[in-house]
Structure 1
């Protein structure tokens, strides 16, 4: 698969330069799906943008989502007619946009779509994620039909987690790419 067909889906407020998503993008040539508004995201806008990028890709894609990007993946997959173009998804630290503190800031992101994804997925969760309880992450994985990976105490699995280039995450992405060919 061409590197530009690995689509990086950051969460709310985007992923900064020290985030593993940004490091992968720079090191491997993956393509970030740029959103119109990272600070006040609208679910419909983000879904439309993802649809445009998937349709514009030269061949099948793999999604690499973090936080709100995971919630975007589920919402997009439930409404898109282009899901056959997706070979798989690596979903990391889903942000629970139904929590009262997040729902107030992200009103268009509730309810979270909980239907099975039409493509293979792996969901990586953490016991001490401040934006999603471990049990909710496991529930999302079950509802979405994703294989669940317990990363232990890794916070929000972002730059603050000290993962650097996160080689283990890349290995899971590569496994997912192999499994879906």
Structure 2
């Protein structure tokens, strides 16, 4: 995004992202980043999480790229479904990492109020990164969410939930997905110019 200043908005999932999570590392190291801070990380309420994401986007004077993980991805999809056009136009794209399938059997009870998962295409560019052994979403469900949302989708082998438990503390390899998304956004912007 060479022609405009961008705010990277980190959108954590359930329990937030602890200090050793890759999202926290990215927040500390990426210039122009901010983080959505939810009031209740343990008992998430869809309406509250969507409203806080909206406040965070509205507070940014720069255009934003969303960097979401797990339940944060579902929050982004719910927000995009009902967001006002003026705020939607501020979002240049979204990196959606390890989206949680909150419709799966055995889904933790506190997450179920986020169902159903929105199925309409996101109105901005998106890159979805899943894993073939994620306990929060099978590879097939991640691909289905990506197809529904119009995302370019990549399924990583053996990456788990792409969190601290699966060994993803800094996740430097994830920057390749972010750069791929930014390149798509830049190409699209040049075509419209």
Aligning the two structures, in what range does the TM-score lie when normalised by the shorter sequence? over 0.9
SS across alignment from 1:150 = strand
Please give the alpha-carbon distance, in whole angstroms, between the structure 1 residues aligned to 2:151 and 2:162: 18
Give the TM-score taking structure 1 as reference length.
Answer: 0.94
Task: Tell me, yes or no, if structure 1 residue 108 matches structure 2 residue 113.
Answer: yes
Aligned to 2:27: 25
SS across alignment from 1:101 = coil
| 1:160 to 1:2, Cα distance in 2 relative to 1, 3 A | farther
Runs of at least 5 residues in structure 1 that lack an aligned partner in the other structure: none
CA contact (8 A) 2:44 2:110 kept: no
* Residue pairs, 1:1-181, within 5 angstroms: 2=5, 5-29=7-31, 30-81=33-84, 82-102=87-107, 104-181=109-186
Q: Deviations over 1:5-30 (max 9, x none)?
A: 10000100111111110111112242
Is the radius of gyration larger for structure 1 or structure 2? 2
SS across alignment from 2:106 = helix
Q: Deviations over 1:22-65 (max 9, x none)?
A: 11111224211000110000011011111111111012100000
SS across alignment from 1:125 = strand
Runs of at least 5 residues in structure 2 that lack an aligned partner in the other structure: 187-193
